[in-house]
Amino acid sequence: MMKLHLSALQITTILREHHLLKTIVKSVTEATYQNVSYDSRAVTADTLFFCKGNFKPEYLASAVTAGATGYVAEQENLAATIPGYIVTDIQKAMALLGAAFYGYPQDELFIIAFTGTKGKTTSAYFSRGILQQTTNKHTALFSTIDRILGPKPEQEFKSDLTTPESLNLFHDMREAVDSGMTHLVMEVSSQAYKKNRVYGLTYDVGIFLNISPDHIGRNEHPTFADYLHCKLQLLVNSRKCIINAETDYLEDIYMAAKATTDPEDIYLYARKGVKPTINVPVDFEFASQEDNLKDAKFTVKRLNEASGLDVSGEYQLALPGDYNENNAVAAIIAAGLAGASVTDAQATLPDVTVPGRFESLTTATHGTVFVDYAHNYASVKALLSFLRKQYNDSRVIVVVGSPGDKGISRREGFGKALSEEADVAYLTSDDPGFEDPAAIAAKIDEHIDHDKVTVHVEIDRPKAIKQAISASRPNDIVVLAAKGEDPYQKIQGVDTHYPTDMVVAKKVVAELEQ
């Protein structure tokens, strides 16, 4: 990585420009910092240290011992002997100073950013898949599953957050640029806006996929209005916008886009026959050609000549699910705005798969097993209703749990989706955190219509999977929902090893069919 630094003058100028600087304590005007960090355990010599979040004063003391020579915080630390930049908002200050420290890498990347309650990861994989062809493998990816910064094996790793903390974000962008990447496809969570991880960042293309109730609770958003507000910020900060015209709250979303973007640069798409709830022309419509488990083919047609871009054509996907056609259209338009041709998209999409999304396992003597990351009402409903259409005479058996400490509305959502689409449910654990998984299962159960669904409770997830597969008959489908390819269970603050749903399912099937 190129040699980076940040001077006291740069810091004060940026903070003043953005009205964030309250005061400077123990000022040293000629100071220069060679590193930035928000974690005392990662501090080295000449580091500018950020005190944020659930912070303890002793972290700053350890940071100083490790070599920190300046700090940024919302409160002065009277025990500290090093200069302090006291600010009104530490997260905003950290994002702005992080971008400056890493030399504004965003200016050297064409950035596509997806938001939405569902489909971010899938669409991001689709767009990157297409752009890898267009850019000759020079497209980076920041997704919930993994981050890919360059061609070396060590530049591909599991993500901790959907959207990284600002210092990590700009660090990783810098590494991507230094590794020759020209494009970046990223997911932006509502939390990223809530916590100002992406403060000051502008995207070349921003996409709004959909919004439904989720992520509302103690550690996330206080209300749905706050969740929507955070998500809308993505469009406010995008040069060009793409909007799924079928989404709820379309008017709010369109208005947010229009606040900063010329309507000519706002692209709407919808499934053929769907009439948007606002009077704005749809630029692209799509229609299924084949929509089953073996074949996912659809066409896209340009409706609005004025839109400039034309991505009309016939496309094929490796991932079934009618909702994935919607995700793919967003990805195709986004890649098109980044320079991809229709042929690039047609050639690459048939090979793009997403770990933990719509993975299947066929068995000889039992039902077909699906592993899928669906984990709120909208996604479980979308998945199960698609599967029901495919297997109209089959029993639908679902293994599912809801997380502790977050996404409380999912409990009711799962109960509702199961009542509408399932025959048998095995309620189990999924990241119970500091809550009792049996109490969470009981909450889901409260919302299940027992005239429609037979409910079993087995908190041990591998046992629940075994019971569900064992009880299935060849024509049944068994859906292992919500965990995708997660290799852990979050229990009492610890990521406890879990072999993944697919590994458990394969083991069960091997035992049953040996």
Ligand X SMILES: CC(=O)N[C@H]1[C@@H](OP(=O)(O)OP(=O)(O)OC[C@H]2O[C@@H](n3ccc(=O)[nH]c3=O)[C@H](O)[C@@H]2O)O[C@H](CO)[C@@H](O)[C@@H]1O[C@H](C)C(=O)N[C@@H](C)C(=O)N[C@H](CCC(=O)O)C(=O)O
Contacts of 406 (CB under 8 A, 6+ apart): 215, 217, 218, 219, 220, 433
Shorter beta-carbon distance to ligand ATP: residue 140 or 328: 328
Six-digit token string for 211:
């919004």
Least distance to ligand X from the beta carbon of 266, Å?
Answer: 24
Annotated binding residue 180:
no
3-class SS at 304?
A: coil
- Judged by the rule CB under 6 A, the positions of this chain that interact with ligand X are 38-41, 52-55, 59, 161-163, 165, 189-192, 195, 215, 219-220
In the numeric block, the tokens 């369109």 are attached to 254
Residue 404 structure tokens: 């502790």
> How many Å separate Cα 97 from the centre of its chain?
24
> CB under 5 to 8 A by kind: which of ligand X, ligand ATP, none does 92 bind?
none
Residue 445 as a binder of ligand ATP (CB under 6 A): the answer is: no
Among 332, 345, 349, 382, indicate the residue that binds ligand ATP (CB under 6 A): 382
CB of 63 vs ligand X, minimal distance in Å: 7
Judge whether 116 is annotated as a binding position: yes
* From candidates 210, 261, 402, 428, binder to ligand ATP by CB under 6 A: 210
327 binds, among ligand ATP, ligand X, none (CB under 5 to 8 A by kind): ligand ATP
DSSP3 helix / strand / coil % (the chain, rounded to 5): 35, 25, 40
Tokens at 425, concatenated: 């449910």
Closest separation between CB of residue 139 and ligand X, Å? 21
Cβ(360)–Cβ(386) below 8 Å: no
- Binding of residue 206 to ligand ATP (CB under 6 A): no
Please indicate if the annotation marks 385 as binding a ligand: no
Using CB under 6 A as the binding criterion, the count of chain residues that bind ligand ATP stands at 21
CA distance 60 to 3: 25
Q: Of 119 and 401, which has the nearer Cβ to ligand ATP?
A: 119
Distance CA 127, CA 124 (A): 5
Q: Min. distance of Cβ 160 from ligand X in angstroms?
A: 6
307 is annotated as contributing to ligand binding: no
| Token reading at 226 | 């706050």
Q: 313 in the Ramachandran plot: left (φ > 0), alpha (ψ -120 to 50) or beta?
A: left
State the binding partner of 195 from ligand ATP, ligand X, none, CB within 5 to 8 A by kind: ligand X
84 annotated as ligand-binding: no
Strands (E) in 145-231, as ranges, are 146-148, 156-158, 183-187, 203-208
Binding mask 335-374 for ligand ATP (x = CB under 6 A): ----------------------x--------------xxx
Q: Which does 55 bind (CB under 5 to 8 A by kind): ligand X, ligand ATP, none?
A: ligand X
Structure tokens at 364: 């000889």
The annotation status of 40 as a binding-site residue, yes or no, is yes
Shortest Å, Cβ 339 to ligand ATP: 24
Contact partner, 481, from ligand ATP, ligand X, none, Cβ < 5-8 Å per class: none
Q: Which residues contact 306 (CB under 8 A, 6 or more apart)?
A: 264
Find the shortest distance in angstroms from Cβ 188 to ligand X.
Answer: 8
How many residues are recorded in the chain?
Answer: 514
Stretch that binds ligand ATP, among 21-29, 111-119, 231-239, 339-347 (CB under 6 A): 111-119
Does residue number 121 form part of the binding site for ligand ATP (CB under 6 A)?
Answer: yes
Stretch (H or E) spanning 137? none
Interface positions, 306-335, toward ligand ATP (CB under 6 A): 323, 326-327
- 3-state SS string for 461-508: HHHHHHHHHHHCCCCCEEEEECCCCCCEEEECCEEEECCCHHHHHHHH
Pick the binder of ligand ATP from 116, 213, 403, 404 (CB under 6 A): 116
**Contact call for residues 340 and 136 (beta carbons, < 8 A):** no
- Closest distance of CB 400 from ligand ATP, Å: 12
Query: Could you tell which of ligand ATP, ligand X, none binds residue 379, using a CB distance below 5 to 8 A set by kind?
Result: ligand ATP
Spatial CA neighbour of 33 closest among 94, 103, 101: 101
> What interhelical angle do 166-178 and 90-101 show, nearest 10?
10
36 — phi, psi (to 5°)? -130, 145
Phi (first) and psi of residue 261, to 5 degrees: -125, 135
Shortest approach of ligand X to residue 384 CB, angstroms? Answer: 21
Can you tell me which of 35, 37, 132, 379 binds ligand ATP, judged by CB under 6 A?
A: 379
Q: How far is the CB of 209 from ligand X (least distance, A)?
A: 12
CA distance 238 to 203: 5
Residue nearest to ligand X (CB): 53
Nearer to ligand X, 215 or 443 (CB): 215
Q: Are the CB atoms for 151 and 179 separated by under 8 Å?
A: yes
Binding positions = 40, 116-122, 162-163, 189, 197
